[in-house]
Amino acid sequence: MSQDARTIEIDGETFELRHSTEASEFAAWHGDTRVSLAAYRDRGEQRLFPHTETLPAWGGRGLAGAVVRYALDSTVAEGLTIVPACSFVADFVREHDDWDEHIARR
């Protein structure tokens, strides 16, 4: 399930970032609870990110940003181009130029 899990700490709590190819998502887990995710669909050499979400109780802590950063880094490492269809992902890549050369151009 998880190809490349990472552990992060936010506000003194530990979260595991996981990539599930079966579910086509990158997610942050707190114990057995998935608290944030970035869903994707692969289209040839492109990875489309249509949706992100964070459970309301976990919002405002930077979890969505951590998940998206993990997802984008993994996408680039896999040699795929990023298609930021979700407004959160689109705003994230607009605010951070780390992935500029890997964004699909229309």
- pLDDT, tens only, 43-95: 999 999 999 999 999 999 999 999 999 999 999 999 999 999 999 999 999 99
Contact 60, 81 (CB under 8 A): no
The dihedral sign for the CA sequence 89, 92, 96, 100: positive
- Cα separation, 65 vs 19, whole angstroms: 15
- Cα separation, 25 vs 3, whole angstroms: 12
Whole-prediction pTM: 0.93
- Looking at residue 48, the DSSP 8-state letter turns out to be E
**Section 36-40 average pLDDT:** 98
- Looking at residue 11, the DSSP 8-state letter turns out to be T
